[in-house]
Structure 1
Amino acid sequence: MGLAVCVFCASSTRIDPVHVEFAERVGRELARRGHTLVSGGGRISSMGAVARGARAGGARTIGVIPEALRHVEVSDEDSDELVITPDMRSRKGEMDRRSDAFLVLPGGIGTLEELFEIWTSRTLGMHDKPLVVLDPLGVYDPLRELAENLTELGFARPKVFDAIGWTADLDEALDLLERSRPRIDATPEDFTEAQP
């Protein structure tokens, strides 16, 4: 049975096209493995590419976009389901609710916000949905180094890295998501320590 995989990624049209091409590959591979895509509901940049790739492979796509961004990010009207939310907070909540797993591709501050919110809540035991950063070109290397430094300095607990996977390889990223499916019977004791 496939997962509903939420992909966080760029909506900027200024990025190198290599990221957009990679996002489309991600969408195609999600489809090949029988997964559903949950995305931010835009049809430009990496966000649009991952949805086009998923649909080209026959996957169901669900886009979630706030009303205020429908024209900025150009809403993906080709989505099998396009959900319009009143604001960004409800958008993230709706994406979280509809997803079984989270995959993070290179993106800007919005992508970082989504990554940190899901990572923090998983570290705190608020969910056990798998989270993987897929970074083939090392865009997030400084971020990972920062998180490691914060751990060494005592600002974050070492187990914070138990809540996330990091890889540069697409197949490995999806393997990690599939092997780490959430358990229905999970309890708070099954998660990492109570503080990030």
Structure 2
Amino acid sequence: MEMQGSRHLAVSQQQAWEALNDPQVLKTCIPGCDRVEPTGENQYAIGMAVKVGPVAARFNGKIQLLDVMPPSSYTLSFEGQGGAAGFGKGTAKVNLAPPAEGSGCELSYTANAQVGGKIAQVGQRLVDGVAKSMAEDFFRRFDEEMQRRHPDAYAAAPAAAPVEAAAAATGRRMPIWAWIAFGVAVLLALLLLAAS
């Protein structure tokens, strides 16, 4: 599965980078996430509870950041295990960049993922749909958290620039924690599918 997307944020590139490198922000923004802990340099362990229909499961995963170029981009490698439910693994390239015009910053990503176990039996369309939905939910929550933390940036943003869903195709890269956050969101989506 491959996903690409971009999103305009009203906050500066540095503010977005810092938030995407804050485990508390990630924990707040990732649905079902109860743990984001550093395990080494640019390495993190995550834990989450996921429920899909009548099935509930607990998943554990690892994220590693590669090619880190603060505050502009990184590559995120992720893998997660949900026991009998299955596994998900993949990479994501994330970019944060100043916008072509105006203020704020542009966050963009390209991600590739593989799934196995029950996840792979669900069907590619369902996997794609859930992954996109999870990514959109993460970025919506992230944008809300940025509005809470930096209300002045959003007050100054043009009213006609609503937050876009993370599903529009682009080819830009994102900062390190943005990759982590995106990777976790994609991983959660894949793991949700494994639980169904």
Asked if Structure 1 and Structure 2 have the same fold, meaning a TM-score greater than 0.5 normalized by the shorter chain, the answer is: no
Q: Which has the higher strand share?
A: 2
Q: Which has the higher helix share?
A: 1
Structure having greater relative contact order (Cα 8 Å, sep ≥ 6): 2
TM-score by length of 1: 0.28
